């Protein structure tokens, strides 16, 4: 089973538009993804298995830091390596762009995502209190690149 990573195009977005809620946890809305596609500071990528879109992820560039805006695997395809593949690609893009770090916020209760980031050496560097609502804190995690 080969996981292929590609840049997201408008046509890919249209392909997953109607299943964003049911199959991708409603993680990001169609309109947000559409505007991110047009934003020159953003890059969105998709993961495909045999022509089926099984995940997507995005980054947003600040000055030296690149921020992961989103990473999500299709619910029926989790824990088979797709999130890792997407994250590896985001790390490679960040290195190619000479970023000093790659940062994200993750819900402190999202154990699977935290494990994924720890697997790639992201470190917990802070907390944003009530970021996701009352008593739902975000952990800020960063991967520092040696320059
Ligand atoms: C977090 C998420 C993207 C991981 O994607 P995935 O395709 O399942 O990831 P992988 O299969 O590459 O797994 C990577 C690592 O994550 C951890 N992990 C993922 N799913 C897990 C599970 N069900 N149980 C335990 N660990 C899990 C493991 O450490 C795993 O590494 P391993 O296979 O060596 O054990 C996926 O669970 C998801 O889409 N969640 C909803 C969206 C989300 O929370 N995104 C993160 C926002 S910050």
Mention every residue, 6+ apart, whose C-beta is less than 8 A from residue 119: 84
The ligand 1 atom at the shortest distance from the C-alpha of residue 104 is 48
| Nearest-angstrom CA–CA distance, 14 and 90 | 22
- Statement: residue 142 has pLDDT above 70: yes
For ligand 1, atom 4, name the residue with the nearest CA.
83
Please give the distance of CA 120 from its chain centroid, rounded to a whole number: 13
Return the pLDDT at 26. Answer: 79
Ligand 1 pocket, mutate which of 57, 78, 114, 137 (most atoms under 8 A from CB): 78
Domains of the chain: 4-144 (3.40.630.30)
Ligand 1 midpoint to CA 13 (Å): 22
Ligand 1 midpoint to CA 2 (Å): 18
Mean pLDDT of the chain: 95
**Burial class for 121, CB neighbours closer than 10 Å (0-12, 13-18, 19+):** exposed
Question: 37-75: buried (b, 16+ CB within 10 Å) or exposed (e) per residue?
Answer: beeeebbbbbbbbeeebbbbbbbbbeeeebbbbbbbbbe
Ligand 1 midpoint to CA 116 (Å): 5
For the stretch 52-88, pLDDT in tens is 999 999 999 988 899 999 999 999 999 999 999 999 9
- Statement: residue 147 has pLDDT above 70: no
Two structure tokens written together for 141: 């995690």
Return the pLDDT at 128. Answer: 95
User: If pLDDT is split at 50, 70 and 90, which confidence band does 28 have?
Assistant: confident
This prediction's pTM: 0.96
Q: Which residues line ligand 1 (CB under 6 A)?
A: 25, 27, 71-73, 78-84, 104, 106, 110, 112-113, 115-116, 119
Q: Are 58 and 42 in contact (CB under 8 A)?
A: yes
For ligand 1, atom 25, name the residue with the nearest CA.
112
Q: What is the mean pLDDT of residues 96-124?
A: 97
For the stretch 79-103, pLDDT in tens is 999 999 999 999 999 999 999 999 9
Ligand 1 midpoint to CA 112 (Å): 5
């Amino acid at each position: 089973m080969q996981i292929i990573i590609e840049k997201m195009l408008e046509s890919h977005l249209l392909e997953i538009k109607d299943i964003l809620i049911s199959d991708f946890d409603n993680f990001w809305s169609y309109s947000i993804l559409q505007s991110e596609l047009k934003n020159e500071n953003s890059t969105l990528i998709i993961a495909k298995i045999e022509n089926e879109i099984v995940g997507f992820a995005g980054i947003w560039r600040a000055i030296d830091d690149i921020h992961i805006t989103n990473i999500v695997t299709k619910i029926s395809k989790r824990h088979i390596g797709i999130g890792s593949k997407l994250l590896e690609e985001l790390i490679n893009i960040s290195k190619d762009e000479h970023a000093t770090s790659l940062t994200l916020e993750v819900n402190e209760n999202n154990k699977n995502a935290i494990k994924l980031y720890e697997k790639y050496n992201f470190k917990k560097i802070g907390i944003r209190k009530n970021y996701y609502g009352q008593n739902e804190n975000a952990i800020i995690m960063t991967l520092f690149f040696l320059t």
